[in-house]
Structure formats: structure tokens, C-alpha cells
Amino acid sequence: MEKYMAIDLKEGKAVRLSKGLMDSAKIYSNEPWELAKRFSDAGAKWLHIVDLDGAFAGDAVNLKTIEKIVNATNLNIQIGGGVRNEERIKSYLNSGVSRLILGSVALKNPEFVKEMAKKYRIVVGIDAKDGFVAVEGWAEVSQIRATDLAKLYADAGVEAIIATDISKDGMLCGLNLEFTSSIAQASGIDTIASGGVASLADLESASKTNGISGVIIGKAYYEGKIALSDIFNNNF
């Protein structure tokens, strides 16, 4: 099971939010590229970046910071937040990013996402609250069930789906494995669990759950609940 270390960017700094609320941002580093180096040295292969300014404003506000992170390590990087057109996809790929996460647009314009998945390495991000898809930086909850959206991408050629339970994100209360597994079953695609990791036991449980190919780890590391050595020196 792949472990993805998370860096959420706001105004060039690494922060974490609680439940996706921008005014809950807590700054953990003014130099996110140094964090990325630390993850790489510990054995990480992937970095999961969310451009929070991009998610809310739709602009690549943190592009320079992202380029610094790319240049600081050899990590594979997946990035999401405000990626809504092909121009932005190309811009990130040209900067050295490995693959793009399409979130809000996956609900609003599935044809565009399917088209992009034929040309580029694309991951679909499905963020949900009480089983329904949330979009636009989680400010808006739709009437579409997350599992129905997952089904739409079953044969679209996307590399993975990231399933986030917003109610758990940044709350250190454990993953919603049932939700993540339901997304994996609906889509038949590798599904990455996100939101709520609090301990090593959560990672172990995820590794034993059908359909879960990876886990995103953020606040649990930043708040000292899990050490990098524990994350990367285990077999699960």
C-alpha cells in the first residue's frame, strides 16, 4: 500500500485545515520544500499537494513554491486544487509534477475529465460529506452520491480515485474505510483513502481493506501522532 505524505499550500506555506475550512488553517512550515526533503529522506515515494488558494480561487497561486518542491526532491508528485482546464494541467506537468488531481470539475464536467485522462496522468478526487459530493473547495455540497460519481469513471482511464470524507479530514479521528471501500467497489479503480488518519493502526486497517491502494497522511504527522520512521518502516 502506497503512503502519500500531504502538503497543503496556502500563500506559499504548508498548512493544515480542519474539515476544509480556510479560516482554520494552521501553519506548519514556511519552507514546504524542506518538508518534502524530509519525507523523501524517510523513504516516501509520493507527495500529495493541495493548492488551497487554487481550490478556492482557481488560480495557480503557489506555482513557484510547487516548482521549488519539485526541484528539491525526486518524489513523484500529485497535485490538486483549482485544476479546471488543460492549460493548467500542461503548466503543472511542465513544472515536473507527475500527475494531476481533478476534483470539482470531475462532477461538473465529466467529459472534460475523460478527455484529459486519455492524454495525461489523471486522478479523480471525490470529496464527500455524508456520502454526497462536495465541490469548490468544499464550500458546496451537491445532490450527487459519491459512489455514483465513482461509477462514471470506471472505464475512463484515470489512474486512481482519492476518496476524502470531509467530516473526518484534519480531525484525527480515524479513516472512513467503509466509504473508501464503497468508492473502490463502485469504480473498480485503485482508491486512495484520505481524511482522518490518526495512528499507525489506521494505516494497518487500510492496508487490509479491499480496494484501498494507498493512504494520504497529513495532520497525524504534523501533530506528532505518527513518526515518519513508523510510516515507512512497516510492511503495510
Active site residues: 8, 127
Tally of helices (H runs) and strands (E runs) in the chain: 11, 12
Q: Which helix (H) or strand (E) holds 36?
A: helix 32-42
CA 133 to chain centre: 15
> Radius of gyration (Cα) for the chain, nearest Å?
16
Q: Which amino acid is at 46?
A: W
* Residues 140, 9: Cα–Cα separation, whole Å: 21
**Cell numbers standing for residue 5:** 505524505
